[in-house]
Amino acid sequence: MHKAFIALGSNLGDKRKNIEIAIEKIKEKGIKILKVSSIIETEPYGYKDQDSFLNAVCLVETSLDAFSLLRVLLNIEEEMGRKRIFKWGPRNIDLDIIFYDDLVIESEELIIPHPDAHNRTFVMGPISEIEPDFVHPVLKRKVIDIYNDLL
């Protein structure tokens, strides 16, 4: 079995409900949810001219490899009506694999750890809440230390 951290975000519609539905859909796909962070409100990242986001992170356990997990998450986004109009644009749901075990993957389809996660308080904060001692496999630092440096 593998453990992965999945970031969830929404800034369209009923944001909290979107995150709750996504978590339920993850469970329905046979992926075990081990922990879920608090849901926090954050300012947009990248493209600023949009509504604020609600963000959370869940720690999951799965038998799926990282690429299969990505396909499941993209399918959930599609099921929920996600439209990819432009980078960092508004979205009803966003599901990103941040970490998958301690693997480092760099391919056209998937990059793990998520390449910009260490710069995002809305990712490092929730991960620090549920697994503060998890070590970033590239930076070789605990997520809580990375998060504290961002504050």
Q: Which residues are tagged catalytic? A: 82, 91, 94, 96
Among residues 66, 73, 64, the alpha carbon closest in space to that of 112 is found at: 66
Number of domains in the chain: 1
Neighbours of 14 (CB within 10 A): 12
Neighbours of 94 (CB within 10 A): 21
Chain centroid to Cα 13, Å, comes to 19
pLDDT digits (tens, 9 = 90+) for 43-99: 876 666 678 889 999 999 999 999 999 999 999 999 998 776 655 567 789 999 999
Mean pLDDT within 136-150: 96
Q: Which domain holds residue 93?
A: 2-150
pTM listed for this prediction: 0.92
Tell me what pLDDT residue 72 has.
97
- Token pair 């966003």 in the structure block, residue: 94
C-alpha 128/C-alpha 147 separation (Å) is: 7
Residue pair 113/105 in contact (Cβ under 8 Å)? The answer is no
In this structure, what CATH number is given to the domain that contains residue 139? 3.30.70.560
